[in-house]
Chains A and B, each alone.
Chain A
Amino acid sequence: MTSTVVIDKAAPSRPVQLRSMSRDRAWALKWSYFFLTLFAIFSLVPPLYMVITSLKTSAEISAATNPWWVYHPTLSNYVELLTSNQFLTFFRNSALVSIFVVTITMLISVPAAFALARMRFWGSATLATGVFLTYLIPETLLFLPLFKMFAAFGELTGIQLINKWYVLLIIYPTLTVPFCTWIMIGYFASIPKELDEAAIIDGASWFQTLTRIFIPVAMPGLIAATIFAFTVSWAQFLYPLVFTTSTDQLVLPVGIVTTLIKGDVFAWGQIMTGALLGAAPPLIIYAFLMDYYIAGLTAGATKG
């Protein structure tokens, strides 16, 4: 009996290093929330400030009152923008460019990625890397030669593409196609080889394998690529600034900046409103596709 007591007393004298998993996790969770809150504040304050400013009149914006509070809320900025033909033209141009660019991008990069990922041909691996490398060339480096090219093309053929919104349909894919192809190569490569072999034995052609097996199975990747292409087209600033100048050819980001800043007069209320309205479509698309995207991620396992 005595010896048992001695052991019992000795045990707690050891330095206790026992911390349960749940306490560890709770600690990690606290820090994650701390940083998440920090980042949320960091990224959400600017849009909030935009909302506040968009609800003010020009007079209130320039008045020396608390900038974080709206004393006389008004929707006049929204009404003015949404009833101005100019703004609606920018919006239409942006929408047309983005929808067409997304379509063109997908039509090129999905078959390209399929070919590079699955049809083993001479140099396909090098070509796949090459495709990605082209994405690494910044647009600031490309816009001058591209402009010269289109100018020369106009002189040679008489077809004037510069200062037409649809010139962007040719230019944007230079940004979107390489990256989307790269994403899709990754997704297609993750599909087990046996799946296309099964399809081939079932009698599917390459095209049928792509459309009936690969595209449905790689839907999450396809959506990721679509979101990327749309975001790039919608937010692109440098190329439309260079290639389009007439007011009726401008897309939203350029249109807002060029028409609402008159010399040194900034129509801040309308700029903020325009920017907010311009940010809405990507947000809506994200919100709509995200559910599908996440549902797609959890489905489609081939092995148990």
Chain B
Amino acid sequence: MADVTLRKVVKKYDDVLAVRGIDLDIADHEFVVLVGPSGCGKSTTLRMIAGLEDITDGDIMIGGDIVNDVPPKDRDIAMVFQNYALYPHMTVAENMSFGLRLKRYPKAEIKTRIDEAARMLDIVELVDRKPKQLSGGQRQRVAMGRAIVRNPKVFLFDEPLSNLDAKLRVQMRIEIKKVHQKVRTTTVYVTHDQVEAMTLADRVVVMNHGRIEQIGTPNELYHKPATKFVASFIGSPAMNFIPCRLEESGGKLHVRITDRLAFPLPPARAARYQSVSRTDRLLLGLRPEHITEASAHPEPGVENFDTVLDVTEPMGMETLIYFALEGAQICGRVNPNAGAVDGGPLRLAVDLNNMHLLNEGTGAVI
């Protein structure tokens, strides 16, 4: 068990900066997920923590010790790979015990650890099988078992679920969470799937272009994104961005979207955005769940407007609606009984209490 610290870590491949100086503190027992689009440097960061990649600059500390030049085997870490990387010629038990056997652990100790891990992962009856006799989900469990038996300071997961089908992925996600609740080992988990990131993490690290965009709990990232990238990356369907500007009218601050469409801001929001220049090109950020069907008695801060829908997507518990506004395609979530039909008109409500205002040029959330 240990904390992990990254100080101004840089990774350069020839002339390409893959990681541009990141700082990250991971507490003991914490489950941290690095998430971002492909090429954002998240896997490289994980591999640098593992010691599989040299670091160009900066420091990596595990349990307080700088490990920049410590080989992977002496870092006391365990890693689970995307394609499982099980040794095909060994049985499940041999796969799990390989590291322990290399370290010359006593046989009895190895057996105890394998039994314990196999029971935890529900693979007791598989221990004598070879990897090719296992399904994808079972292989993933074995790969996790191989990490658990080592009892390392840190678990590293490199997109472990992306080879599984959607249903199994959800199931294994829960398994991983359960395992972490039991063993409480510090975990760094890399994924490009924001749902995985949100559901698993104590804290999520959103990366883009080799930099950290934002670090926070899943709820912080969802409700208080710092940048347009985070706002659009976290949440599905993604947040809507509508070009707009601020204007004063009748003594109240309004957010104007088109010549005919402007919404008065609720007092709290108005106070917050008072200092924003009225000429700045801005984006109104609204999550789909804050664009709903209009109700007869709107709450304060909720404004109604009429629109014509392009497409509807009935999901069962809700219906996703799509319509165009100022050239942007907007997605909203309405009640299945709201009467949304393809091409039909609908009176909608926007909840401005949950709006975000972004600077169009910098992408920063105001």
Contact = CB atoms under 8 A, between A and B. Distances in A.
A300 interface: yes
B87 A197 contact: no
B85 A194 contact: yes
Given A299-B132, A301-B132, A304-B135, A203 B103 contact: yes
B234 interface: no
Q: Is chain B's binding surface mostly helix, strand, loop or mixed?
A: loop
A300 B82 contact: no
Interface string B71-98: 1110001110111111111000000001
Contacts of B88: 217, 299-302
B72 to A, nearest CB: 5
Nearest to A301: B132
B140 to A, nearest CB: 10
Contact of A194 (B83, B99, B131): B83
B99 A216 contact: no
B139 interface: yes
A154 B243 CA distance: 89
Contacts of A219: 89
B163 A303 contact: yes
A74 B8 CA distance: 87
A201 B103 contact: no
B366 interface: no
B79 A197 contact: yes
B136 interface: yes
A214 to B, nearest CB: 10
Interface in B106-135: 130-132, 134-135
Contact of B89 (A199, A200, A216, A304): A216
Contacts of B132: 299-301
Given A194-B83, A299-B88, A201 B102 contact: no
B135 A202 contact: no
A304 to B, nearest CB: 4
Interface in A195-224: 195, 197-204, 208, 212-213, 216-217, 219
B102 A203 contact: yes
A199 B139 CA distance: 17
B163 to A, nearest CB: 7
Contacts of A208: 102
B89 A195 contact: no
Chain B interface size band reads 20 to 34
Interface string A136-168: 000000000000000000000000000000000
Nearest to A200: B72
Contacts of B73: 200-204
B300 to A, nearest CB: 55
B102 A198 contact: no
A208 B98 CA distance: 11
Contacts of A213: 87
A41 to B, nearest CB: 40
B174 interface: no
B52 interface: yes
A192 interface: yes
Interface string A287-304: 000000000000111111
B35 interface: no
Contacts of A195: 85, 87
Nearest to B131: A302
Contacts of A203: 73, 99, 102-103
Contacts of B33: none
B89 A197 contact: no
A293 B116 CA distance: 37
A116 B263 CA distance: 67
Contacts of A197: 50, 52, 79, 81, 85
Nearest to A215: B89
A208 B99 CA distance: 11
A204 B102 CA distance: 7
Nearest to B90: A216
Interface string B163-202: 1000000000000000000000000000000000000000
Interface string B305-334: 000000000000000000000000000000
A198 B79 contact: yes
Interface string A160-197: 00000000000000000000000000000000101101
B139 A202 contact: no
A204 B99 CA distance: 8
A201 B83 contact: no
Nearest to B97: A202
Contacts of B146: 198, 202
Nearest to B99: A202
Given A202-B98, A304-B135, A194 B82 contact: yes
B52 A200 contact: yes
A192 B77 contact: no
Contacts of B136: 304
Given A204-B102, A303-B163, A198 B85 contact: yes
Nearest to A191: B88
Nearest to A298: B132
A145 B357 CA distance: 82
A201 B78 contact: yes
Question: What are the 4 tightest A-B residue pairs by CB atom distance, in nearest-first order?
Answer: A202-B99, A194-B85, A203-B73, A300-B88
15 contacts: A197-B79, A197-B85, A200-B73, A201-B77, A201-B78, A201-B99, A202-B150, A204-B102, A219-B89, A299-B130, A299-B132, A301-B132, A303-B163, A304-B134, A304-B136
